[in-house]
């Protein structure tokens, strides 16, 4: 190894010849230098072999999946730095060895032959130490390389399982073509393999506008105009021609100077259906509230109005624009309003009669019902109040009470009339006996007048009994004009008390009618009494009859104040 053969120097390069001459010249000087120079001469070739070995190991350990190419690139960079670590370490170790060993050798010996032999042993010892050092260094680097590859494989497996088990469809788009998709993506498209993805169809996107939008996003990603993930909703066509709603997020990535796109897609059909049903339910509730004849209000926790439906506008007179966001103006002065804390404390209130005020200042009787409004956490954040106008109901109840009182009075009057009729019949009988006695009748000419008045009293009592007690229906032929004249005569006393005059305009044509005479009497009595009560300051009531074909028209007109417009 110390002798250089020059027989083949023609096949060597210039650098080898120079090194060989340098080694022969330095042999007589110091063998350790020659060993060092030999090491430097063969070291680059050794490093080339070493680097090729690492490349071979790297290729064996290289993972054949495209998902970890970035990790491979990082591993390749780490491997390329190994030779430079070895060269630097060897240079530092060799320089320190030469300087320290030569200094020690020449300090203890000045004999040339001895130094030459010691230099030879020192050179071989240096080579041995270098081999040991390089062995442990390479072993350490290979161990680190192996650990890194193991971590890379573990990371690749972890991410592969994560992608495969993802509930979202994850696809990789490269050069306008899907090169990878997980199992969820295949199931979402309704295919068994990636090759079946575009079979019998040109595009997975149903709407052409959505296709155009997605192409524009992909174009901006591939031209590096957009590096931010974009989300788009569209309809996807499955292999069985079923259409589903999906949401895709397009994420741009760059690898090996190429731009690719990761497409993360999820099925939002159920969510879209839920949103649609929620919207329809909201529209239904709004339609019910708008069409409801009951005034409906919604108040927040500060008692400010959030909702004011059309029925509230009609009943109370305020338009929604006048009251939304303000305190309720419908509570009259002196009326204690129900506070929100009271409603929360007592819960639901059902049909509580309260008085409220209209915009014109008039009072309206209402039945109040309330219910709390809760948020998603179950906390009360408002109150729903419904007001039902019961003014007419109250008047009906008052009229019914009055009718019941009149009925009681009628029954009492019937009882009294019945009791009066019995003795009146006896008196009438005795007067008739006296009237049959001609001599006595001639002396008492007033007996006929007394009989006439008793007959009139008997008729009045009979009418009281008819009005007081319900009679069985008995249809007969009667004259309408005569029936109306009888009613006017019956109510003339009451009309005089209210300064009311009756005006008649009866037809001269045949007014015979077939019906229940007593019930019609009661109808006209009620109508004329209402007309009298509607004119507390007095006035006139006119009755007009007319024959129109086979019908008889009766028109009753008074001069009362009339019915308020809001009650019509």
| Whether pLDDT at 7 is above 70 | no
Structure tokens at 527: 């109508």
Cβ–Cβ under 8 Å, residues 347 and 361: no
Residue whose C-alpha is closest to residue 135's, from 86, 92, 96: 86
- 99 or 467, greater pLDDT: 99
Structure tokens at 384: 């729903």
Contacts (Cβ under 8 Å, ≥6 apart) of 538:
498, 499, 500
pLDDT band at 31 (very low <50, low <70, confident <90, very high): very low
The mean pLDDT of 284-307, rounded to a whole number, is 89
What is the per-residue pLDDT for 408? 73
Based on the number of CB atoms within 10 Å of its own CB, is 517 exposed (0-12), middle (13-18) or buried (19 or more)?
buried
| Whether pLDDT at 536 is above 60 | yes
The mean pLDDT of 537-561, rounded to a whole number, is 89
Give the whole-angstrom CA distance, residue 198 versus residue 182. Answer: 16
Per residue in 466-484, pLDDT tens? 666 555 567 888 898 888 9
Average pLDDT, the chain: 76
The mean pLDDT of 112-117, rounded to a whole number, is 64
The mean pLDDT of 386-404, rounded to a whole number, is 85
Per residue in 61-78, pLDDT tens? 333 334 444 444 444 545
| Whether pLDDT at 25 is above 50 | no
Angle of CA points 262, 264, 267, to nearest 5°? 155
The mean pLDDT of 2-10, rounded to a whole number, is 36
| Whether pLDDT at 23 is above 60 | no
H or E element in which residue 234 lies:
strand 230-237
Per residue in 487-508, pLDDT tens? 888 788 778 878 889 999 998 8
| Whether pLDDT at 452 is above 80 | no
What is the per-residue pLDDT for 16? 42
| Whether pLDDT at 36 is above 70 | no
Based on the number of CB atoms within 10 Å of its own CB, is 290 exposed (0-12), middle (13-18) or buried (19 or more)?
exposed
Cβ–Cβ under 8 Å, residues 152 and 63: yes
Give the whole-angstrom CA distance, residue 535 versus residue 148. Answer: 108
Based on the number of CB atoms within 10 Å of its own CB, is 95 exposed (0-12), middle (13-18) or buried (19 or more)?
exposed
Per residue in 418-441, pLDDT tens? 677 777 777 777 777 777 777 776
User: If DSSP states are collapsed to H, E and C, what string results for 244-292?
Assistant: EEEEEEEEEEEECCEEEEEEEEEECHHHHHHHHHHHHHHHHHHHHHHHC
The mean pLDDT of 397-412, rounded to a whole number, is 76
| Whether pLDDT at 230 is above 70 | yes
The mean pLDDT of 544-553, rounded to a whole number, is 89
Cβ–Cβ under 8 Å, residues 41 and 55: no
Structure tokens at 321: 């624009």
């Amino acid at each position: 190894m110390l002798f250089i053969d020059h027989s083949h120097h023609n096949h060597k390069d210039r650098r080898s010849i120079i090194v060989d001459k340098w080694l022969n010249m330095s042999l007589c000087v110091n063998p350790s230098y020659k060993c060092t120079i030999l090491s430097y001469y063969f070291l680059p070739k050794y490093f080339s072999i070493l680097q090729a070995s690492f490349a071979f190991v790297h290729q064996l350990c290289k993972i054949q999946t495209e998902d970890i190419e970035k990790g491979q690139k990082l591993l390749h960079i780490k491997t390329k730095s190994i030779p430079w670590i070895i060269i630097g370490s060897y240079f530092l170790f060799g320089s320190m060895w030469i300087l320290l060993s030569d200094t020690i050798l020449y300090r203890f010996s000045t004999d040339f032959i001895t130094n030459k032999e010691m230099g030879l042993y020192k050179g071989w010892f240096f080579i041995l130490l270098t081999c040991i050092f390089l062995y442990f260094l390479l072993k350490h680097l290979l161990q680190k390389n192996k650990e890194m590859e193991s971590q890379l494989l573990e990371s690749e497996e972890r991410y592969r399982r994560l992608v495969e088990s993802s509930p979202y469809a994850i696809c990789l788009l490269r050069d306008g073509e899907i090169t990878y998709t997980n199992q969820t993506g295949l199931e979402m498209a309704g295919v068994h393999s990636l090759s079946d993805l575009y079979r019998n169809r040109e595009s997975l996107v149903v709407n052409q506008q959505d296709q155009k939008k997605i192409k524009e996003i992909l174009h901006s990603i591939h031209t590096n105009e957009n590096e931010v993930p974009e989300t788009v909703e569209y309809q996807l066509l499955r292999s069985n021609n079923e259409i589903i709603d999906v949401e895709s997020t397009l994420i741009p990535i760059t690898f090996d100077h190429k731009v690719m796109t990761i497409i993360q897609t999820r099925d939002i059909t159920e969510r879209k259906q839920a949103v649609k049903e929620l919207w329809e339910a909201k529209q239904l509730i709004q339609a019910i509230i708008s069409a409801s004849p009951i005034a409906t209000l919604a108040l927040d926790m500060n008692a400010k109005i959030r909702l004011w439906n059309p029925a509230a506008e009609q009943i109370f007179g305020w338009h929604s624009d006048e009251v939304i966001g303000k305190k309720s103006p419908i509570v009259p002065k002196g009326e204690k309003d129900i506070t929100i804390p009271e409603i929360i404390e007592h819960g639901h209130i059902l049909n509580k009669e309260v008085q409220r005020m209209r915009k014109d200042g008039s009072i309206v009787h209402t039945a109040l019902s309330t219910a709390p409004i809760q948020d998603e956490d179950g906390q009360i954040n408002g109150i729903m109040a419904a007001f039902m106008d019961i003014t007419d109901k109250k008047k009906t109840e008052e009229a019914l009470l009055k009718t019941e009182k009149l009925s009681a009075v009628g029954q009492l009057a019937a009882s009294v009339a019945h009791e009066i009729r019995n003795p009146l019949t006896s008196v009438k009988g005795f007067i008739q006996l006296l009237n049959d006695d001609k001599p006595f009748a001639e002396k008492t000419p007033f007996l006929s007048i007394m009989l006439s008045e008793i007959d009139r009293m008997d008729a009045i009592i009979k009418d009281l009994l008819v009005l007081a007690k319900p009679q069985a229906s008995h249809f007969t032929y009667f004259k309408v004009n005569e029936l109306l004249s009888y009613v006017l005569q019956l109510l003339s006393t009451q009309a005089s008390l209210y300064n009311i005059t009756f005006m008649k305009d009866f037809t001269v044509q045949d007014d015979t009618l077939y019906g229940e005479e007593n019930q019609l009497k009661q109808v006209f009595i009620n109508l004329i009494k209402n007309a009298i009560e509607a004119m507390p300051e007095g006035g006139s009531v006119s009755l007009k009859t007319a024959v129109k074909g086979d019908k008889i028209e009766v028109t009753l007109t008074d001069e009362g104040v009339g019915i308020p417009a809001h009650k019509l």
